[in-house]
Structure 1
Amino acid sequence: MPHAQAQAVPARAVALDALRGMAVLWMTLFHFAFDLNHFGWMRADFYRDPLWTVQRTCILSLFLLCAGCGQAFAVHAGQTWSRFWRRWGQIAACALAVSLGSALMFPNSWIYFGVLHGMAVMLLVCRASAHWGPWLWPAGGVVVVLGIYAPQLHALLPFADTLNLKALNWVGLVSHKPITEDYVPLLPWLGVMWWGMAAGQWMLARGWMPRVDQTARALPLAPLSWLGRWSLTWYMAHQPVLIGLLTVAGFLR
Structure 2
Amino acid sequence: MGGLRFERLDALRAAAIVWMAAYHFCYDLNLFGFIRENFYNDPFWTTQRTAIVSLFLFCAGLGQAVAWQQGQGWPRFWRRWAQVAGCAVLVSIGSYLMFPRSFIYFGVLHGIAVMLIVTRLTAGWGRWLWPLGLAAIVLPQFVQHPFFDTRWTNWLGLITRKPVTEDYVPLLPWLGVMWWGLAAGQWVLAQRPGWLAGGVPRALAPLAWLGRWSLSFYMLHQPVFIGALAALVWLSR
What is the aligned partner in structure 1 of residue 154 from structure 2?
Answer: 169
Say whether residues 1:231 and 2:214 are aligned partners.
Answer: yes
Q: Which amino acid aligns with 1:67?
A: A
What is the aligned partner in structure 2 of residue 16 from structure 1?
Answer: 9
In the TM superposition, 1:97-112 aligns within 5 A as: 97-112=90-105
In structure 2, C-alpha distance between the alignment counterparts of 1:213 and 1:77, rounded to whole Å = 12
Q: 1:39 to 1:127 in 2, by over 3 A?
A: same
What is the aligned partner in structure 2 of residue 244 from structure 1?
Answer: 227
5+ residue gaps, structure 1, are: 1-5, 155-159
1:136–1:194: 8 Å Cα contact kept in structure 2? yes
TM-score of the aligned structures, taking structure 1 as reference length: 0.90
Match 1:135 to one of 128, 143, 155: 128
What is the aligned partner in structure 2 of residue 157 from structure 1?
Answer: none
Number of residues of Structure 1 aligned to a counterpart in Structure 2: 236
Match 2:187 to one of 198, 202, 206: 202
Q: 1:70 to 1:113 in 2, by over 3 A?
A: same
TM-score of the aligned structures, taking structure 2 as reference length: 0.96
In structure 2, C-alpha distance between the alignment counterparts of 1:34 and 1:103, rounded to whole Å = 17
5+ residue gaps, structure 2, are: none
In structure 1, C-alpha distance between the alignment counterparts of 2:143 and 2:223, rounded to whole Å = 39
In structure 2, C-alpha distance between the alignment counterparts of 1:251 and 1:117, rounded to whole Å = 33
Q: Which amino acid aligns with 2:179?
A: W
Deviation at 1:219, TM superposition (A): 5.2
Q: Which amino acid aligns with 1:83?
A: R
1:99–1:112: 8 Å Cα contact kept in structure 2? yes
Residue 221 of structure 1: SS of its match in structure 2?
helix
Q: Which amino acid aligns with 1:195?
A: W
Say whether residues 1:146 and 2:139 are aligned partners.
Answer: yes
Q: 1:74 to 1:42 in 2, by over 3 A?
A: same
Residue 96 of structure 2: SS of its match in structure 1?
helix
% same residue: 57
1:24–1:227: 8 Å Cα contact kept in structure 2? no
**4+ aligned runs moved over 6 Å, structure 1:** none
In the TM superposition, 1:173-192 aligns within 5 A as: 173-192=158-177
Deviations 1:191-250 (A, max 9, x none): 0000000000000111x2235534x52352111111111010000000000000001111
In structure 2, C-alpha distance between the alignment counterparts of 1:95 and 1:18, rounded to whole Å = 23
